[in-house]
Amino acid sequence: MGFCKFSKFSFLFLISILSVSTAEENARISYDRVSLLSFMSGVVSDPENSLEHWNSTNVHVCNWSGVGCNHERDQVVQLDLSGRSLKGTISPALANLSSLMVLDLSKNFFQGHIPPELGSLFQLKQLSLSWNLLEGDIPSELGFLHQIVYLDLGSNRLAGHIPSSLFCNGSYSLQYIDLSNNSLSGEIPSKTKCSLRELRFLLLWSNRLVGQVPQALSNSSKLQWVDLESNMLSGELPYNIVRKMPQLQFLYLSYNDFVSHDGNTNLQPFFAALLNSSNFQELELAGNNLRGEIPSIIGDLSTNLVQVHLDDNLIYGSVPPGISNLVNLTLLNLSSNLLNGSIPPELCRMEKLERVYLSNNSLSSEIPSALGNITHLGLLDLSMNKLSGSIPDSFANLSQLRRLLLYGNQLSGTIPLSLGKCVNLEILDLSRNKLSGIIPGEVAGLRSLKLYLNLSSNHLHGPLPLELCKMDMVLAIDLSSNNLSGSIPSQLGSCIALEHLNLSSNFLEGELPDSIGQLPYLKELDVALNQLSGDIPVTFQASTSIKAMNFSFNKFHGNISDKGAFSLLTMDSFTGNDGLCGSIKGMPKCRKKHHSHLVIFLPIIVSLFATPLLLMFGYPLVLKSTFRNRLGVVNGGDFEDEEKDGKEPKYPRISYEQLIEATGGFSASSLIGSGRFGHVYKGIFGDNTRIAVKVLDTRTAGDISESFRRECEVLKRTRHRNLIRIITICSKPDFKALVLPLMANGSLERHLYPSHGISHGLDLIQLVNICSDVAEGVAYLHHYSPVKVVHCDLKPSNILLDEDMTALVTDFGIARLVRGVDETISANDSISYSSADGLLCGSVGYIAPEYGMGKRASTQGDVYSFGVLLLEIVSGRRPTDDDEGSSLHEWVKCHYPHNLEPIVKQALLRCSPGSMPTNYDKIWRDVILELVELGLMCTQYNPSTRPTMLDVAIEMGRLKQYLANPASMLTGEASSKADAPLII
């Protein structure tokens, strides 16, 4: 009986304890709800993207968007609202979430101060407030966060001193500190008695910090990444500190006021200290006041070293041959120093070198021909030295060379014909040397030149080579101050992208071709100090692009108006031409001519002959023109202007009736695709030419008219093997169509998703080749097209594949044409879109996040879309498959880098051929991982941190080459400074 009573009592006691415990937990979660709602009251968000369920009383707080709970005790332990376009202030109420372990509000638009109350979140392990608009001081109370592991306050507007409590708070767990890109001042507050022994990343770049690097950092022996660049730090290079960092990989000390040892004469101790770091990868010491010689022990540093920046210092002496022991180096920058002696031929042993900068020194002797053996070399800058001798023929071996800068030396001999074999060359600058001979046609015909050709200030002679007209993508040509003779070929008018042309100070004669004045983007022309004659063509006056011209000291004659482009000029542009007269201030007035009596009778004589001529030829022409207009026949450009000007059409003339016949009356059986603006039909002409006809739906006339105009403008101005080619256009009031080649293998979308009718997918080699093609095409649009273009709708369905599986980018209907250099437009500039402007957004899943905030269309937006495409190909997921409530970028990133194995395995299953050799498994795994990393870089939230499309194209080209011939490529790409360390 007693036992039963005791058991009953015990049971009731247990129930009462559980009831109290449940009540406490309910009170706790209710308290957390109130704190979160208080935080939300100071936040402005887009209702479609941010705080889902936060206003619902029927949804448990642990199911709110961005909220994570410890489900055993129902406590809020995580609040992650990064990248949600939130505005407002950070409420101190968050300090009431006493169990919070992760607080991430990064990549938003929060303003105001950091609440000091956050220092009471004693369980907090990660605090991320970077990429906001926060200002004021860093609260010293954050030093109370003794459990903190990850602290990121970078890229804000914070000012004042760094609180010493952050570096001396009793925390033994802090691994990551990022206070970079703010306006912090004062010294780095680290004391010897306060050691951060677990610290791995210290990022303080781009502030206003002063003083020396604190000795206490030597206690942080696990440091891997130290970035103190762009401050005002001083003192000797911290060799006593870095020698105690055996795990150091990245050290950035550039653009401070550091000096070397022994009165700024000795760099040896610092480089000796780095010998302890066996995995060292990048060293940046540029822009300091460093003196001394480069010590020979630089060649004994870790062979993992991939980048060395010693530029913009006062370093003297020779380049030590031992530096060639750094066989994995990809970038060597020793420019803007006081180096002398010769360039060591041993550099050719550094087979991975991609960029070499030795400019603005006093290097002498000849250029070693051995440099031609560095097959991966993409940039070689030896300008502003004292180099002599000839340009080595071995440069023809540099198939990857894009920029060759040899100006400002004492080079002699002729320009090697072999340079014409550098088929990827974009910049060639040989100016200010002693080169002689003619300009080789092989070099003048380099179609790859996209930026500029500069051969000025040499001793070149002979005529201007006709091959110059092949440079249809070059932006600037400077051949001034030579001994060139003969006439200026009218074919130069084929250089349609040309913006700057300088032919001054030569012996050119004859007339100035009017075709040059018709160049659509020409901004500057200088033909002064030649022997040119005749009238200055009116095309220069009529140009809408030219801003500066110099015709002085020639033999021009005729009347000069002060209208049009000439209204920007002064007499200085015409001086030294005695035959000129006109309205320019300071120019002689033109005399009035006395007309003879013959002029009175001339109209009568002309009319007598003109009438029979009109009867013979004029009426048939009029009838023919009327007939063409009735059929709706046009050519591929601005056809109305070309008809008026009597020019030959650029594209075949195809009638509306021919399109009807080719497509079976636009029948349903010919339909191969539909979109927002209309339908695409396949067709076959009588000669078996297969075409695709894109017919726009005129019921949405306003949008369609603009879309049609944009696509026509893009297609007629761009020429690239990876961009769709226009055959012709057909435009009538009630019918608008583009006629394009029919792509035999359809769109990439049909291959990525077999349900679209493809029996098998593509292997990895094909996919990488396709992505490389797309990157090349879009890079052309961004960087080299005569009209800079932002595509705005890059996705698999807009990538077509021809019979050879070459990819062509299509559908420019919402492309943004940008006159001039697109870099002048900030990605952060906001504009107000009209309904038509809304077309710039693109397709759901591929739209860059900044577009959703009303930002201007930019090239970075296309980079984002390309990154989504890469992640889509690797993961096999559409960007709209948001079953987990996250974007494709977020979904992949949450698996990176430690949980990628399932994604890689699935990718290998989808993209591997049935009989792939076993040894290729690792190669393909490496490529898939590279694609993931490149995709994540391209889809970074901040547009300014994404690579350019040119960088992406280069990287895709390397992967393509690696897959085609793995033995020819050396693996192990190093991280660049742009890659922020990822802590997941």
In 606-684 the beta strands, taken as DSSP E runs, fall at 671-675, 678-684
The domain that holds 868 is classified in CATH as: 1.10.510.10
pLDDT at residue 638 is higher than 70: no
pLDDT at residue 628 is higher than 90: no
Euclidean distance between CA atoms 639 and 631, whole angstroms? 14
The reply to whether 731 and 800 lie within a common domain is no
The reply to whether 777 and 732 lie within a common domain is no
Better-scored residue on pLDDT, 535 or 736: 535
**Looking at the 3D structure of the chain, how many domains does it have?**
2
CB neighbours of residue 263 within 10 Å: 10
The reply to whether 666 and 800 lie within a common domain is no
Which residues does residue 103 pair with via DSSP β-bridges, in sequence order? Answer: 79, 127
Residue 649 DSSP code: P
To the question of whether residue 694 is assigned a binding role by annotation, the answer is yes
Tokens of 966: 């793995």
Q: Given 742, 776, 802, which residue is the final one in a domain?
A: 742
Given a contact cutoff of 8 angstroms between Cβ atoms, the answer to whether 281 and 250 are in contact is yes
Cβ-proximal residues to 70 (8 Å cutoff; 6+ apart), any chain: 77, 99
The reply to whether 699 and 845 lie within a common domain is no
- How far, rounded to the nearest angstrom, does the alpha carbon of residue 575 sit from its chain's CA centroid? 44
The reply to whether 789 and 684 lie within a common domain is no
Nearest C-alpha neighbor of 179 from the set 167, 191, 170: 167
Q: Given 742, 774, 807, which residue is the final one in a domain?
A: 742
- Look up the domain containing 704 and give its range: 632-742
Residue 961 lies in a domain: yes
The reply to whether 790 and 928 lie within a common domain is yes
Nearest C-alpha neighbor of 221 from the set 201, 202, 197, 240: 197
Buried/exposed code over 703-732 (b: 16+ C-beta within 10 A; e: otherwise): bbebbbebbbbbbbbbebebbbebbbbbbe
Q: pLDDT digit string (tens) for 655-667? A: 778 888 888 887 7
Residue 933 lies in a domain: yes
The domain that holds 678 is classified in CATH as: 3.30.200.20
Buried/exposed code over 535-569 (b: 16+ C-beta within 10 A; e: otherwise): ebbebbbebeebeebbbbbbebeeebeeeebbeeb
The reply to whether 778 and 907 lie within a common domain is yes
Q: pLDDT digit string (tens) for 805-857? A: 899 988 765 555 554 333 333 333 322 222 233 344 577 888 888 876 667 78
Least confident segment among 300-314, 397-411, 704-718: 704-718
Mean pLDDT of the chain: 80
Q: pLDDT digit string (tens) for 39-89? A: 988 888 655 456 777 877 788 888 888 999 987 767 899 999 988 888 899
The reply to whether 679 and 802 lie within a common domain is no
The reply to whether 788 and 925 lie within a common domain is yes
Nearest C-alpha neighbor of 369 from the set 391, 352, 392, 351: 392
**Stretch 603-613: mean pLDDT:** 35
Residue 970 lies in a domain: yes
Q: Which of 458-462, 721-725, 951-955 has the highest mean pLDDT?
A: 458-462
Residue 120 lies in a domain: no
Q: Given 685, 707, 742, which residue is the final one in a domain?
A: 742
The reply to whether 700 and 833 lie within a common domain is no
The reply to whether 658 and 723 lie within a common domain is yes
3-class SS of residue 127: strand
- How far, rounded to the nearest angstrom, does the alpha carbon of residue 872 sit from its chain's CA centroid? 20
Residue 176 lies in a domain: no
Residue 793 is among the residues annotated as catalytic for this protein: yes
Euclidean distance between CA atoms 397 and 645, whole angstroms? 47
Euclidean distance between CA atoms 774 and 781, whole angstroms? 11
Question: Beta strand pairing status for 208-211 and 678-684?
Answer: unpaired
Residue 1 lies in a domain: no
3-class SS of residue 57: coil
- DSSP string computed for 392-440: PGGGGG-TT--EEE--SSEE-SBPPGGGGG-TT--EEE--SS--EE---
Euclidean distance between CA atoms 844 and 838, whole angstroms? 13
pLDDT at residue 649 is higher than 70: no
Residue 118 lies in a domain: no
Catalytic residue among 32, 793, 862, 951: 793
Tokens of 747: 């769109």
Given a contact cutoff of 8 angstroms between Cβ atoms, the answer to whether 802 and 830 are in contact is no
The reply to whether 840 and 923 lie within a common domain is yes
